[in-house]
Structure 1
Amino acid sequence: MLLLLFGQQPDSFIRAFTDTYKHGLSQWDYQCDNVECGGHYLCSVAAKGHPGIVKPVRRGVRNGNPILCNRQLLISNAFEELIQEKLPFLHRPIRHHYNKVGDVIHRYYGIFNIRVVADIVYILMKPLEWLFLLTLYTFDRKPENRIARQYLSRKDRDLIRQSESKPPCFPA
């Protein structure tokens, strides 16, 4: 309530943490040094496209390796997490199909090192991103919190989940 009184979002603490996670983009080189760029199609787009187009947001962690995250990647992963939680029987075939497509993509992965190609793929993926976002806002109580939690370390995700589940403590 105090945050709302001063014009802040109720989840400002979570947003402040995730927006500055691993020092934010302002303190590291965009060139993907020490950042895992392969292994995930959207991550490769986020890491390889022109920053003005793919709009990297922050660093994240995937399989213990740092990755570069953009909003499209975070939304897509949040959508997959929602489907996995709510419709696990549907998640399995979707994931299986995505992995088959991913295998084909990774055979020709070198082409995605070309920034213009990555930009085009990013733009082509926009309608899916909007569909995923619409789904998240329709079926999730706190879609922005789910999106913000993506690609954090397990320890940090657990801390955020604990803080979300605790009732707010207001002084008497």
Structure 2
Amino acid sequence: MTEKSSESDEGFLVRLAEWQQGDFALGCGDFLFRDISKLTDEGEDDGGAVLDSEIVGFAVISQTCDVVRDPERIRYVSVCPMVVVDAKRIGQIERGQAPRFGFLSATPDGVVVDFSRTMSVTKDLLVSWERQRGCHDESQQLEFSRALETFFGRFAFPDAFVASVASLRNAILS
């Protein structure tokens, strides 16, 4: 390794070490996903690749220790798209009725993280984005981590149970 590449590797590692769970970047491209309805009959099969250009940014959901870990060992970071939602949805999120969404305290008004859509990016791409701190203090960081835990750790109740408590749920919510 030459001295010049060693310096650039060091700069890369310094930039990577700045990132943590909950940090985000705005205006950094489209969200890529796959959709079988996008397969073509004309033989131009791109595997169903779809770009969602309505997202406003990406938030890091990987644990900070995995983000900063040696890129030779862990090359990817998980991110979720950030989307704009209306005031009604904000209220539902605040009341815990929309666990698929999470707040970051430093985002623009109406922008939330959509946990239901996750994408992996390389650490090289991550450090090319303009990082913004998502949480201003440890309590906000903990709140975001709990929102992630709520979404990814939810218990899947059987359909029969959900149906049996529907009237009770409606009574509580009203």
- Range of TM-score over shorter length: under 0.3
Larger relative contact order, structure 1 or 2 (CA cutoff 8 Å, min sep 6): 1
| More helix, by proportion | 1
State which structure, 1 or 2, has the greater radius of gyration over its C-alpha atoms.
2
TM-score normalised by L of structure 2: 0.24
| More strand, by proportion | 2
TM-score normalised by L of structure 1: 0.24
